[in-house]
């Protein structure tokens, strides 16, 4: 967990999605740090988190990840948090905000998807077979992860230089954890929770994104009463890397608004 930026500023918490780790925010966090107190962290099982804390049973669905978000809030005694969740972490924010709304001032859902798999009357973009194919890709790509290196890289937050020189180290994950996180992510369905969100919410999606296509962004926007939708002129599923300026502008402007006026009539 890394806390940076203005200690007296409003708190912006950045949660990474499935794939890499908090490095995903490297182009965004320093800019937000000028005006905000920025909290970055790695989900348990990702990046430099303590792998011993991971258990496939506990982290079988997104609820455990949402519980961790709330635990961080309690540990740092945070309230009025502006939670920014990328991809699957957006839904972790939704679950956390439904559970303890008093912790959160606002939610920013960056390319969210409440359900990746197509359903009757809903287009998530994928079939179950597609997800199985992804698991195959994970199995054949350990991205430089090896059992021998894992103890060196993981749990050495005090010596970050240890893993840096290795290629692909940002997305290094224990293959079994990656598999289990992929399942928790892509088999999740939290469409029903969206309507329960009571905090002001900004939905950010990209003009072209194969993982969260435009209709999914529109669906999330429609389900969360009073939410706002901004479509970034970006391609791909990681606008914080491909269009960092536009992403920062959107997050900062929304986070800086006085809380009471952010819910606008649609």
Partner 1 sequence: MMSARGQEAGSPTPGEGGGERALFSALLEDSAEDLYENAPCGYLSTLLDGQIAKINNTLLGWLGYTRDELVGLRTFSDLLTVGGRLYHETHFAPLLMMQGEVGGVALELRTAAGERLPVLVTSTIKYGADRQPQLIRTTIFDASDRRAYEQELLRARQEADRERDRLQRLVATLQHSLLPSSLPEVDGLQSAAYYHIASRDEVGGDFYDLFPLSRERWGFFLGDVCGKGAAAAAVTSLIRYTLRAAAVYDPDPVTVLETLNTVMQHEYRGDDPRYCTAIFGILTRDGDGFTIDLAGGGHPPCLLLRADGTADFQHTPNGMLIGMLSPAVFTATTIRLAPGDTLLLYTDGLIEARTTGALNAEVDDDRYGDEALHAFARALAPTTAQQAVAALADLLRGFGAGLDDDTALLALHVPVTERPAERGAP
Q: Which is nearer to partner 1, 20 or 66 (CB)?
A: 20
CB of 105 to partner 1, least distance (A): 28
Applying CB under 8 A, which residues contact partner 1? 17-20, 23-24, 26, 87, 126-127, 130-141, 143, 167-168, 170-171, 186, 208-211, 235-238, 241-242
Q: Which is nearer to partner 1, 41 or 145 (CB)?
A: 145
CB of 260 to partner 1, least distance (A): 36
d(CA 6, CA 24): 21
Residue 209 annotated among the catalytic residues of the structure: yes
Which is the catalytic residue, given 87, 113, 169, 188?
Answer: 87
Residue 43 annotated among the catalytic residues of the structure: no
Q: Which is nearer to partner 1, 76 or 171 (CB)?
A: 171
Residue 190 annotated among the catalytic residues of the structure: no
Q: Are 177 and 150 in contact (CB under 8 A)?
A: no
Which is the catalytic residue, given 68, 209, 221, 227?
Answer: 209
Q: Which is nearer to partner 1, 83 or 116 (CB)?
A: 116
Closest CA to 64 of 76, 54, 75, 74: 54
CB of 116 to partner 1, least distance (A): 9
Which is the catalytic residue, given 113, 227, 237, 262?
Answer: 237
Cβ neighbors of 264 (< 8 A, separation 6 or more) are 226, 228
CB of 261 to partner 1, least distance (A): 34
Q: Which is nearer to partner 1, 26 or 123 (CB)?
A: 26
d(CA 7, CA 9): 6
CB of 208 to partner 1, least distance (A): 7
Q: Is 129 left (phi over 0), alpha (psi -120 to 50) or beta?
A: alpha
Q: Which is nearer to partner 1, 80 or 127 (CB)?
A: 127
CB of 230 to partner 1, least distance (A): 19
Half-sphere exposure of 64 (CA within 13 A, CB side): 16
Active site residues: 87, 209, 237
């Amino acid at each position: 967990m890394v806390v940076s930026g203005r200690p007296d500023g409003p708190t912006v918490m950045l949660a990474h999605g499935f794939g890499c780790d908090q490095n995903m925010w490297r182009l965004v966090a320093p800019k937000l740090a000028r005006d905000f107190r920025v909290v970055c962290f790695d989900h348990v099982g990702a990046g430099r988190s303590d792998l011993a804390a991971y258990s496939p049973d506990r982290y079988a669905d997104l609820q455990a990840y949402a519980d961790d978000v709330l635990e961080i809030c309690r540990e740092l005694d945070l309230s009025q948090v502006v939670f920014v969740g990328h991809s699957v972490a957006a839904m972790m924010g939704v679950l956390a905000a439904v559970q303890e709304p008093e912790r959160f001032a606002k939610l920013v859902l960056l390319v969210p998807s409440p359900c990746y798999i197509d359903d009757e009357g809903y287009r998530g973009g994928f079939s179950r077979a597609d997800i199985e194919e992804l698991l195959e890709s994970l199995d054949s790509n350990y991205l430089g992860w090896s059992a021998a290196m894992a103890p060196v890289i993981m749990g050495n937050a005090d010596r970050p230089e240890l893993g840096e020189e290795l290629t692909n180290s940002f997305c290094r994950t224990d293959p079994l954890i990656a598999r289990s996180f992929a399942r928790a992510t892509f088999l999740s369905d939290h469409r029903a929770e969206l309507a329960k969100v009571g905090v002001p919410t900004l939905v950010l999606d990209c003009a072209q994104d194969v993982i969260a296509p435009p209709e999914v962004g529109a669906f999330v926007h429609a389900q969360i009463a009073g939410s706002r939708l901004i479509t970034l002129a970006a391609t791909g599923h990681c606008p914080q890397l491909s269009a960092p300026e536009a992403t920062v502008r959107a997050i900062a402007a929304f986070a800086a608004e006085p809380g009471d006026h952010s819910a606008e009539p649609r």
